[in-house]
Chain A
């Protein structure tokens, strides 16, 4: 009889997703609020307005929605990043991360196809939206998607280290 190895491909992808996406989300959230790229660093209100302008340049949302997203998204990114790293209720948070990262990917893909000459806004700094931005966001979306699928699959079967011994020994 064959036991599951504690570190099979699925678990490696789950861990990779949690570490990579968790780290990136926390970094991206702080970057939008703190603006490390600017000297001197602007106050939080101005950083929020600058991020709202970047969201608005995608021309997907009405102005009021761009301002609301700019207000809440950095905090949501930090919270989701931390929750991924902690690993609590992973099915819920990994699904939410996949939806958000998928949304970013679609927004970037749309802007690229529409030839919008804008900055990505992904990490707040001035970064022109190019094919590499599309590829990077696509890769992150795939990672989030696989992580979520595998999290759901793993939750259906007990971890080999914690499985009760059925042999009667």
Chain B
């Protein structure tokens, strides 16, 4: 039915008013998003690592390759090398999602797949520059791994993350779960910085993947396929993938 000029004018004006109102609402919400983005940039603090004071303890820096995954520090890898799946986990000890992944998912993957020789898991250090103490934590974790105490120290660092990220007392957190003799060995390795090249190597491998955020897990199969899994994921969902790849 034809409309009069005034009716048509009113309809058009109401359309324009509706569009304008919705555009203003969206612009407002996007301004809020942009404002939060500027707050996101945190000041990075570099952790002061004590220089080597004494001669470096004797440790092996030998790395291994499993199913095309190279430069694996065997002290930070667990499971059978013949497992059908190799899972690399790039994490930062100070990242909350990494803590969540470790405590809720990685532990269950170890119990259900690594211990039954279905998955070979590789813990890669990827300390982010925005976290003040993650590099120090990686150094202590690596040192503990080289005296065979990787799991207990990783668990202590992740479970007490909220405490040491405030106080910076990474050493105290590690000392609480090691015997004085083990702690002395760990401290000597940390002070000597002899294991730093292994942490650097993990970072370089992560940058080549590329790892854009932590945690990032890369799941490798025997046929050469790689599946990236980014962020925290629950064990029950990861299980659906691992079950297909390991059957």
**A residues near B, CB below 8 A?**
1-4, 9-10, 38, 40, 42-43, 45-46, 49-50, 52-54, 56-57, 59, 63-64, 66-67, 109, 112-113, 115-119, 126, 128, 131, 134-135, 138, 142, 145-146, 149, 153, 157-158, 163, 166
**Interchain pairs with CB closer than 8 A, number:** 105
Establish whether residues A146 and B227, one from each chain, have CB atoms under 8 Å apart when the complex forms: no
**Nearest residue, chain A, Cβ from B95:** A117
When the two chains form their complex, are residues A131 and B33 in contact, meaning their CB atoms are under 8 A apart?
yes
> How far apart are A37's CB and chain B's nearest CB, in angstroms?
10
B37 near A119 with CB under 8 A, answer: no
Complex contact A57–B230 (CB within 8 A): yes
B residues contacting the other copy or chain, number (CB 8 A): 40
Quick check: is B60 within 8 A (CB to CB) of the other chain? no
Q: A89 → chain B, closest Cβ, in Å?
A: 23
B residues at A contact (CB < 8 Å): 1-5, 8, 15, 18-19, 22-23, 26, 29-30, 33-34, 36-37, 40, 95, 97, 212-214, 225, 227-234, 236-238, 240-241, 244-245
Q: Chain A nearest CB: distance from B134 CB in Å?
A: 14
On chain B, the residues within 8 Å of A38 by CB distance are: 225, 227
Of all chain A residues, the one with the shortest Cβ separation from B229 is: A53
A3 CA / B5 CA spacing, docked (Å):
9
The distance in angstroms between the C-alpha atoms of A42 and B26, with both chains bound, is 38
Q: Are A1 and B4 in contact (CB under 8 A)?
A: yes
Do A131 and B37 have beta carbons less than 8 Å apart?
yes
Assuming the A-B contacts A42-B227, A116-B231, A117-B214, are A56 and B237 also in contact, with contact meaning beta carbons closer than 8 angstroms in the complex?
yes
